[in-house]
Amino acid sequence: MEVNLLHTRIEYLKGVGTRRAELLHKELNVYTYQDMLNRFPFRYIDKSKIHKVSQVNDDMVYYQLIGTISDLKSIGAPRATRVTGRFTDDTGSIELVWFKGLKWIKTSFKPGVRYVLFGKASEFNHRYNFVHPEIEEYNPDDPLIGEGLQGVYLTTEKMKNNGLGTRQIAKMQKLILQQMFDIIPEVLPSSVIRQENLIARRYAYYQIHLPSNNIEIQQATRRLKFEEHFFLQLKLLRAKKRRENTVKSHVFGVVGDYFNRFYNDYLPFPLTNAQKRVIREIRRDLGSGHQMNRLLQGDVGSGKTIVALMVMLLALDNGFQACLMAPTEILATQHYATLKEQLKDMPVRLALLTGSTKTTERRVIHHGLKDGSLQILVGTHALIEKGVVFNNLGLAIIDEQHRFGVEQRAKFWEKTEVPPHTLVMTATPIPRTLAMTQYGELDVSKIDELPPGRKPVKTVHVYQDDRYRLMLFMKHQIELGRQVYVVYPLIKESEKTDMIALQEGYEALLRDFPEPQYRICVCHGQLKPEDKDFEMQRFIDRDAQIMVATTVIEVGVNVPNASVMIIENANRFGLSQLHQLRGRVGRGADQSYCILVTDHKMTDDGRIRMKTMCSTNDGFEIAEVDLELRGPGETGGTRQSGQVAMLIGDLQKDGELIQHTRAVASDLLDEDPYLIKPENRLLHEHYKELFAQTFDWSQIG
C-alpha cells in the first residue's frame, strides 16, 4: 500500500501543534491534510486593499487596517464583561471590543507592535467600532496581504479565541497546497474530464482556496461539485445494481386464494387508481426473483395500510410469512386491529408482538413463527429482537420509515437465509432531489391520490388571545358529535416546561369542559405504555371527546370521527410535523379543521411555517418549503442514519447536476460495473477510500 501524504496528520503542519490540532478535530472534524483541503471557503473577500482608519465609514462592511493597539481596558466589575482597546494608524484611531476570551485578549497585544486587523465595522452611537476583529502581527513578507481574493472559512468562537480564525485557516490551506500540490491525484477518468470540460483536480483545490479571480472560483466549484455528486451517485447506483443483480429473493409467482378472496369479498371500499397502480408495481417486483426494496410514499390518509395488507396476502398465497413493523406501540396495535377487522373471518393467523406482550403469549408467538403456523406478525421494534425467528419470512413491511434507521431495516436481513422482500412506507413526502440521494438505492412508488369524498382540512392560525372563541368553536364541534385533539409540543431540551404547559392547558380545559358533560383524555410519552393505550382507547371508543396529547399521536393514528386538530405553540413545530399532525383529522366525511395557536412573538421562519400550513394541504409543497427553511440535514424530523453530508455540493440546489452526474455515473457503470478497467483504477481507489467507513447500503433488506 502506497503511503498517501495527503493523509498526514494535521498536527504535523507547521504552526499547528497538538492543541490546535485537537481543536480542529473537535470543531471541524479535521484530522488530516486531506480533511483540511476539503473544508472549502463559503465565500470570498477582497483583501487586495489596505484601508485607513479614516476610511471606515460604512456599517457591516469589511475593512483591512494596519496599525497599533493600545488602551486595553476591562469593563465591568467585579467581573469584566468586555474588553475594549484602540486601534491607531496615521489617520486616526477606532475602538475595538471583545466579549469573549478576555484574559487572552488583555495579554496578547504588545504596545508599539504593528498589527493587521481584518473585520466588519459596526456602528454604535454614531461611531464605528470593530467587534471581535481578526488580528495578527503585521509581517511585510506575509503572502496573504495584498493578494486578491481570500476565502472565508467556517470557524467557531473557540477556534478564534485560540488563534484559528479564517485567516489562519487560509494560511494553512496555502501551506498544504504548496507542499502537496503535485501529489493531489486525479480521480475522475480522463474521458469524463474531457467530456464534462472540467479542470484538473489539483487546480480545482488550488483555485478554490487561493483564487486570483472569480472565474477561477467558478471553475473550481464546478469541478469539485461535480466530483462530489458523481461519487455519491456512483455509490448509490452500485448498491442498487448489486442488489438487482445478486440479491435473489423468493419469487411470488401466484396470486392465490387469500388475495383473490379478499379482493372479491372483503375489500371495504374500491381502491383508488393510485393504490391499484402501486400494488401492480409491487407485484412486478415480487415476481422478478430479485429482492424488492421499495419505498412507498403516500401522504397521510392516502391509504397505505390496505396496500400493505394486500401485499402481505400475496406473501401468504405463495406460502410465506409476512410482518409489519410500526414505530410505536399505539400504531402497531392499531394496525393489528385494522387488519383483524378487515380480514374478518378469513382464515389468516396473525399476532401482535410489542414490548408489553406478556412472556407466555410471547412464547406462543415465537413458537408459531418458528413452525410457520403464524402467518402475519404485526409489531414494534420487538419484531427485530434476537429471539424472534421466522420459519419462512418472505416480506417485511416497515411503516413510517423516518422513525427507523437504516441499521434497523437491515436487521430483517439476519432473520432468514434468503432476504425478505422489503416495503418501506412513509408519509413524509421527500422532494425529488433528496429522494434521489437519500433513497437512491430504493425504488419508489407513490400514492398520489386521496380516497374520494375527503374534504380538504381547513387550516387557520389564531393567537393566544383568541382562546375564548376557540373554546366556543370546540364546544360547537363537540355538539355536532365530533372529537378534538389538542396537541402540545414536547421538545427534549425543555421537557419540564413543556410538560407544565401541557398540564396547565389540560387543567384549563377541565374548567371549560367540565364532567360529566365532557370527558378529556391525556396522552404523552411519560405515561406507561398501558396507560397510554388506555387513554388512546378512550378516544378511539368516543368515550372522550377531547384528547390532550404531545406528539406521541403524530404518527399514523386513525380516528375518523376526530375533526379538529388544535396545535398549541404551533410555531415550535417543524413543517413536516405540523403536516403529520394535521393528517390526523380529515379522515372521515366531515369538514375538518386544523387550528394553529401561537402568541404574537414569532420568528420569521415561524411565520412562514404558519402561512405555508394555512395556504396548502399538499405534502410535497410543504416538504419543499421545509427543505428550504431547514436544509436537507433535518428533513423528516429526526436525523436519520445514512444521511448524506456534503462538502461542497448542495442537495437542495443542485437538482440538475445531481441528475446529470447520475446519468454519467450510470454510463460508466454500464461500461465497467466492477470498476476494474485500468482507466478507472484511481477512481476506484478514491471510491473505496471515500466509502470505506460508511454503512453498506446494499445490505438493507
Q: Which residues bind Mg ion (CB under 5 A)?
A: 556
Instruction: Say how far apart CA 361 and CA 329 lie, in whole Å.
Output: 16
Q: Which region, judged by CB under 6 A, interacts with ligand ADP, from 43-51, 303-311, 363-371, 500-508? A: 303-311
Smallest distance from ligand ADP to CB 589, Å: 10
Q: Which of 92, 529, 560, 574 binds ligand ADP (CB under 6 A)?
A: 560
The span from the CA of 72 to the CA of 75, in Å, is 10
Identity of the residue numbered 141 = D
Question: Considering the complex, what minimum distance in angstroms separates the CB of residue 166 from Mg ion?
Answer: 48
Long-range contacts of residues 151-156, Cβ cutoff 8 Å, at least 24 apart? 151/40, 151/41, 151/43, 151/44, 151/208, 151/209, 151/210, 151/211, 152/41, 152/42, 152/43, 152/44, 152/45, 153/39, 153/40, 153/41, 153/42, 154/28, 154/39, 154/42, 155/27, 156/27
Q: What's the closest the beta carbon of residue 620 comes to ligand ADP, in angstroms? A: 15
Residue 339: exposed, middle, or buried by beta-carbon count in 10 A (0-12, 13-18, 19+)? buried
Calculate the CA 83 to chain-centre distance.
40
Instruction: By CB under 6 A, name the one of 298, 431, 440, 489 that touches ligand ADP.
Output: 298
Q: Whole-angstrom Cα distance, residue 322 to residue 314?
A: 9
Of the candidate residues 204, 306, 316, 585, the single one contacting ligand ADP (CB under 6 A): 306
| C-alpha cell read off for 668 | 460508466
Residue among 436, 435, 442, 483 at smallest CA distance from 590: 483
CA separation for the pair 103, 683 (Å, rounded) = 50
Comparison of 368 and 556: residue with beta carbon closer to Mg ion: 556
Q: Given the rule CB under 6 A, which of 18-26, 49-57, 301-309, 604-612 is the region that contacts ligand ADP?
A: 301-309
Cβ proximity to Mg ion, 377 vs 597, nearer residue? 377
Q: Please pick, from the candidates 302, 437, 640, 661, the single residue that binds ligand ADP as defined by CB under 6 A.
A: 302
CB of 280 to ligand ADP, least distance (A): 15
The answer to whether 263 and 467 are in contact (CB under 8 A) is no
Least distance to Mg ion from the beta carbon of 269, Å?
16
Which residues between 75 and 114 bind ligand ADP (CB under 6 A)? Answer: none
Instruction: Please tell me the distance from the alpha carbon of residue 375 to that of residue 323, in angstroms, as a whole number.
Output: 8
Q: Check residue 558 for interaction with ligand ADP (CB under 6 A).
A: yes
Check binding of 303 to ligand ADP (CB under 6 A): yes
Residue 304 is which amino acid? K
457 close to 617: Cβ distance less than 8 angstroms: yes
Looking at residue 241, what DSSP letter applies? H
Q: Which is nearer to Mg ion, 145 or 307 (CB)?
A: 307
- Chain positions 243 to 272 lying near ligand ADP, rule: CB under 6 A, are 269, 271-272
CA distances from 232 to 7, 272, 386, 662 (A): 21, 36, 33, 9
Q: Shortest distance, CB of residue 308 to ligand ADP, whole angstroms?
A: 8
Q: Which three cell numbers stand for residue 529?
A: 405504555
Region from 18-26, 251-259, 294-302, 645-653 binding ligand ADP, contact rule CB under 6 A: 294-302
Work out whether 124 is an interface residue with ligand ADP (CB under 6 A): no
Q: Please, which of residues 440-479 interact with ligand ADP by CB under 6 A?
A: 451
Q: Does 305 bind ligand ADP (CB under 6 A)?
A: yes
Separation of alpha carbons 298 and 307, rounded Å: 11
Q: Which does 199 bind (CB under 5 to 8 A by kind): Mg ion, ligand ADP, none?
A: none
Phi, psi of 401 (to 5 degrees): -60, -30
Q: Least CB distance from residue 448 to ligand ADP, whole Å?
A: 12
**Residue whose CB is less far from ligand ADP, 35 or 400:** 400
Span 146-185, contacts to ligand ADP by CB under 6 A: none
Which of ligand ADP, Mg ion, none sits in contact with 271, Cβ below 5 to 8 A by type? Answer: ligand ADP
Which CB sits closer to Mg ion, 556 or 649?
A: 556
Among ligand ADP, Mg ion, none, the one that 431 touches (CB under a kind-dependent 5 to 8 A) is none
Kindly tell me which of 307 and 352 has the beta carbon lying closer to ligand ADP.
Answer: 307
Minimum CB–partner distance for residue 305 and Mg ion (Å): 5
Backbone angles phi, psi at 66, to 5 degrees: -125, 130
Displacement of CA 119 from its chain's centroid (Å): 34
Picked from ligand ADP, Mg ion, none, the partner binding residue 300 (CB below 5 to 8 A depending on kind) is ligand ADP
Interface with ligand ADP, residue 301, by CB under 6 A: yes
Whichever of 532 and 587 has its CB closer to Mg ion, that residue is 587
94, burial (CB in 10 Å: exposed 0-12, middle 13-18, buried 19+): buried
Q: How many CB atoms lie within 10 A of CB 452?
A: 8
Task: Tell me: does residue 587 bind ligand ADP (CB under 6 A).
Answer: yes
CB of 452 to ligand ADP, least distance (A): 6
Residue pair 272/229 in contact by the 8 Å Cβ criterion: no
- Please answer whether residues 428 and 438 qualify as being in contact, where contact means their C-beta atoms are separated by less than 8 angstroms: no
Contact flags string 629-668 toward ligand ADP, x per CB under 6 A: ----------------------------------------
Residue 655, CB-side half-sphere exposure with 13 Å CA sphere = 9
Stretch that binds ligand ADP, among 45-53, 242-250, 304-312, 657-665 (CB under 6 A): 304-312
Residue closer to ligand ADP (CB basis): 116 or 447: 447
Residue 312 CB, nearest approach to Mg ion (Å) = 14
Phi, psi of 652 (to 5 degrees): -85, -40
Q: Pick from ligand ADP, Mg ion, none: which does 302 bind, CB < 5 to 8 A by kind?
A: ligand ADP
- What b/e string do you get for 26-58 counting C-beta neighbours within 10 Å, with b at 16 or more? ebbebbbbbbbbbbbbeeeeebeeebebeebee
Angle at 173 between CA 171 and CA 179, to 5 degrees: 105
Grid-cell match 377541565, residue found: 510
**Chosen from Mg ion, ligand ADP, none, partner binding at 383 (C-beta under 5 to 8 Å by type):** none
Length of the chain: 701
Helical residues (DSSP H) of 197-256, grouped into ranges: 201-209, 214-246
Judge whether 322 and 375 are in contact, CB under 8 Å.
yes
Question: Burial of 148 by CB count in 10 Å (0-12 exposed, 13-18 middle, 19+ buried)?
Answer: middle
**Cβ within 8 Å of residue 576, ≥6 positions away:** 428, 622, 623, 626, 635, 636, 637
Which does residue 560 bind out of Mg ion, ligand ADP, none, counting CB within 5 to 8 angstroms by kind?
ligand ADP
How many residues belong to the site for ligand ADP (CB under 6 A)? 18
Residue 171 binds which entry of Mg ion, ligand ADP, none, CB below 5-8 Å type-dependent: none
Taking the complex as a whole, the smallest distance from the CB of residue 579 to ligand ADP amounts, in Å, to: 12
Pairing status of strand 115-124 against strand 134-137? antiparallel
Residue 249, contacted partner among ligand ADP, Mg ion, none, CB below 5-8 A by kind = none
Binding pattern for the stretch 401-430 against ligand ADP, x by CB under 6 A and - elsewhere: --------------------------x---
Q: Which does 119 bind (CB under 5 to 8 A by kind): ligand ADP, Mg ion, none?
A: none
CB of 327 to Mg ion, least distance (A): 11
In whole angstroms, how close is the CB of 308 to Mg ion at the nearest point? 9
The site partner of 301 among ligand ADP, Mg ion, none (C-beta below 5 to 8 Å per kind) is: ligand ADP
Per CB under 6 A, which of residues 359..378 are in contact with ligand ADP?
Answer: none
Give residue number: closest CB to ligand ADP.
303
Residues within the interface to ligand ADP (CB under 6 A):
269, 271-272, 275, 298, 300-306, 427, 451, 556, 558, 560, 587
